[in-house]
Structure 1
């Protein structure tokens, strides 16, 4: 997961005879895009067409759907520009510049610890980002990115596109063929692709930096690269941090998500409309569950922590006495977190208030207060450089379904009471003698936050308008905000500040040994991974790297999740059964890489990354080239589907034009 300003050129040359020049790197950087909602993509035409995954646009498609027009189940194709539909709350970012700001952060935080360290760091980051954005927040985004656990800080400046329109998304049955049983497995048979288009001033974005699809794809053993925005890895954590993750976060996360999955599944059984409302949440919940299970399984293997202990011991030998004992300090922070975890997760991270209404209310309440302060003194998500994206989220036109929100809220309030106890002062304050079900019903019946006009009035009216609001969700968010902020401050002071300050010490120790000869943990910043098309050995069995269309039809049944949409069944006689559908590579990727283009050395798209195998889930903590695999849709399959199934040959031609 190499940053584009520090590519492993010597390794690429030695292993594959490939020497990318600066023009190649710049073209790739400017052709890559990040979906602010958490995925990757790439420009694949000079007119703003963006290739990504179907699962990356599922929320957009769901929000554009209704009981009368279910684009999730039925798919969507815009055969003319006028038919393209604007996503209510999507944003695309294209990286244009990287600047090292490590010295500024180091100077601002020198000789500080605890809350003073957090405040100084966040204030300097806010100043740097504000200087970068200037007066151009509508079209520029700037993020200070922490690399190597605080060893480096880089400023990433992006072009920002908030007019993002849906062009193509396949039917759910083929975009998610195999469902949860096939997720993180291989062989796979998915057309997990979608197309968006970026607009600026009402016109498609014009870009010379774009990639084209190569119909022939890549051969076994061929060099392939993935460029995208991996979200989070934890390969530089200490042993005590990994133990806390294993024993606290992953266990509690699995319990919470398991119950949430059951809740959403049961809600969806009520009617076809209820199933439609819950489908995207259920899909993402099932995916998250599988990720956490895979990570827990990896951390439960004695070998992994054994390797980490050995690496830690080697680094300890290199530690200077002046550095103190950063491992002991980080271990103490983990003990502090264990005592704080339940209220912090349920209140500040709002797991006890699982409702879109509450999310909106909290943003309105906090934004009203925070915007009255200088940007550098605000909570991070309300600083000037972040407000454009936040406003888009709060003022999204996406529909909100009261019965669905009431169901989620009642359940999560019961979790709040369960985890904190019925005698907890905040639980008493929130429930005020009501049951979770009764309170959820009152809140949802009384709120008007589903009204976009009202939300706009509150957002624009600021502190005075929000303070005067009698909306029950606004009142709830206001009532718990003092306690919630105190929990956040404790977490930032007792845990986060200690981890970051001492991680920076460990980063310096690593630099003394390795410098930047290795890549930093994933931070949702642009990276390049190199590898090759290759299967692997599993229990004495060879897993071949390709699946083909014939295998899709052989695997299909008449029941979910292996039922094919009618369009594919009707098109079967026209399709080449030998055509590759999905394939695996040795590229090192993780969540956030979804939608990343898989490219050859000519920077042609040969595939579209959408998943990993089960072994890749342990990749959060380390990479094993023998078994970790990225899973991608083959370029030939994408073009075949557009041309022969969806009558979208014009889109195929747009993506393959010279």
Structure 2
């Protein structure tokens, strides 16, 4: 299928006033009060519009305070760049999920000293371990609307690529201005699919250390079998600490650094929750697709998701076969496999959800209603046909991009391509470089290249690359990027590439970051030679993507502005899709009925661990934990209603990937749990929020505190936190 290039169209009043829409969007948010549902991943500045909803469920924190980034509780929230966390002391101690700290745990583990299975506890700050060169904490302190600066003056006659590059250049300029103080990392993400842009400033802490993580027999109890399932009995928590220079500013990792003095921190409440209690949840959700069209749902359901499942399963099988009997390989690839498995189960859950409820048909009905409304109220009569065409071009290109991704399954080709692109981009002034290869990105690139030392073995990587080439060769011809096939090595020749490359050596790999393009052109390293051969294909795909994205960025915002106006007219909530920025959601502790005759939730207890324990992974609990359960050493952590220690609980909060580690707060803003998962029936909430069955899964803070006190004796960590215990 070819890529459709749309002709320029005349701007309507919708697009001419695009940068003025924030007033409309905020006004629409106020309409949520009539919705009486817990749907929505809200930008902090929208929260004052939700006063009636927050009051309805019982939240006592004033909405204006809740919306203020400089005040408790939002000033305690932290992004880990893919997960969320929160400060729980004024000395930079942050709590997050076990699976969010998994790379740090795995990085410090060996076959002889395996902190994954044994757990880790630093009794003193001097014993805390480096989380790794790619571990960072981001603290959001400023958000400003820059829609005008990004969009004003764009003309109708621009090609998609020209438009996209103009937007990119403006965003780079806004970021460069924001990052004059090197303590900060700035970004300019779009909201409502390009309708609005906000510049977000975050303090970036570069020295992060592992403080405490329970054994994965607690932190990952149930493993992939229980992933996305309920009932659940997983103690998915860990503690990290942020370190800064002696001047209190972010600094590179150093033994001279001191703990970060956080402006505020969360008080931990062990007083517990009960069914029906309100909760708030704050964090950095990754991506949702609530405003996608029916055609985009069908593409995901019928093509892209099944392909992703097949690819993930194949890659996991290759890694496991190549690692069999090798303890070092099992440790080094533990985090890689865990990440692939998590994505696999989520994608399988999405497909199961699509099969259980025809979301495309639901969206068909909504789309028909919208189009009927737009026919009466819309200004640009050509908008919907243009929208359909640009969505089709996006889907066509994505199949070739998927094929391109498959051939980069191995780390050596991926590293070589990254290094070569750095050399090419470094020849340009920094402002003219691709955003991913500007000077500000080089330390992150170096961190990823460095980390391979703990997650790479030549024989495993060779097996992955060989199998990936074999899978690529079986793809339909139309999915192959033009010209690529002739440049790829035959699967049987892969072994020679590894024999003729030194990129597997960390020092050699990092050394290439400082070399110019001429050095690459003169190199006889097999993977560098392959990366050079593939560069033109890479650029062709990138330029096609710019053309398609530029057309999307022109058409989709017009569509979204119309959707917002339509939703306002029918009293529906309006919030932007998740995009890894700070959001607040709310809900209540609640059970659910996944199917007729079955009711689940909302709490599990430690007795369930006894019932599930088999003595073998993934249902192997630590011996001392089992003994404490059998002896009922529950102390003050026993819930009087449950007559046991609660482990996990459900809520109606609207969450997604990236919310892992998000703080779950009670009505007073005190920490009562950590978000870590969703029920299997909820996975399709990325596309459609169904309040009847959508449930988030949280670790109950009482279980965390009980394990820390009774099992792991993490007394120093407990002492550092401020904890409100229940009355005796």
TM range (shorter): over 0.9
Matched, 1:87 2:141: no
Q: 2 CA distance for matches of 1:102 and 1:233?
A: 21
Partner of 2:525: 471
Matched, 1:536 2:592: yes
TM superposition shift of 1:464: 4.4
Decide whether the 8 Å contact of 1:229 with 1:525 is kept in 2.
yes
Partner of 1:336: 393
Q: 1 CA distance for matches of 2:119 and 2:323?
A: 20
SS at match of 1:609: strand
Taking structure 1 as the reference length, the TM-score comes to 0.93
Decide whether the 8 Å contact of 2:270 with 2:702 is kept in 1.
yes
Matching residue within 200, 218, 241 for 2:296: 241
Return closer, same or farther for 1:531/1:21 CA change in 2, 3 Å cut-off.
closer
Q: 2 CA distance for matches of 1:376 and 1:244?
A: 36
TM superposition shift of 1:240: 1.8
Return closer, same or farther for 1:374/1:420 CA change in 2, 3 Å cut-off.
farther
Matched, 1:192 2:236: yes
SS at match of 1:602: coil
TM superposition shift of 1:376: 4.4
TM superposition shift of 1:484: 1.4
Matched, 1:641 2:686: no
Decide whether the 8 Å contact of 1:146 with 1:153 is kept in 2.
yes
1:381-400 map, 5 Å: 381-396=436-451, 398-399=453-454, 400=456
Return closer, same or farther for 1:343/1:24 CA change in 2, 3 Å cut-off.
closer
Q: 2 CA distance for matches of 1:252 and 1:55?
A: 26
SS at match of 2:367: helix
TM superposition shift of 1:445: 2.8
Q: 1 CA distance for matches of 2:357 and 2:224?
A: 28
1:211-222 map, 5 Å: 211-222=266-277
Unaligned 5+ runs, structure 1: none
TM superposition shift of 1:326: 3.4
1:253-286 C-alpha deviation (Å, 9 max, x unpaired): 1111121222233334333333323322222222
Decide whether the 8 Å contact of 1:54 with 1:192 is kept in 2.
yes
Matching residue within 347, 364, 383 for 1:309: 364
1:63-102 map, 5 Å: 63-88=107-132, 89-102=134-147
Decide whether the 8 Å contact of 2:267 with 2:723 is kept in 1.
yes
Count of equivalent residues: 648
Taking structure 2 as the reference length, the TM-score comes to 0.84
TM superposition shift of 1:301: 5.1
Matched, 1:508 2:561: yes
Matching residue within 42, 53, 77 for 1:11: 53
Matched, 1:229 2:284: yes
TM superposition shift of 1:175: 1.4
Partner of 2:425: 370
1:319-330 map, 5 Å: 322-330=379-387
TM superposition shift of 1:93: 0.7
Matching residue within 176, 190, 195 for 1:130: 176
TM superposition shift of 1:650: 1.2
Q: 2 CA distance for matches of 1:180 and 1:536?
A: 22
Unaligned 5+ runs, structure 2: 1-40, 246-256, 639-643
Matched, 1:46 2:101: no
1:223-274 C-alpha deviation (Å, 9 max, x unpaired): 1011011111100111222222222211211111121222233334333333
Decide whether the 8 Å contact of 1:108 with 1:120 is kept in 2.
no
Matching residue within 200, 206, 210 for 2:261: 206
Q: 2 CA distance for matches of 1:93 and 1:17?
A: 27
Partner of 1:34: 79
Partner of 1:450: 504
Return closer, same or farther for 1:465/1:35 CA change in 2, 3 Å cut-off.
farther
Decide whether the 8 Å contact of 1:233 with 1:522 is kept in 2.
yes
Partner of 2:466: 410
Q: What is the alpha-carbon root mean square deviation over aligned residues?
A: 2.3
Q: 1 CA distance for matches of 2:521 and 2:72?
A: 49
Matching residue within 487, 499, 514 for 1:429: 487
User: Higher mean Cα deviation, 84-93 or 396-405?
Assistant: 396-405
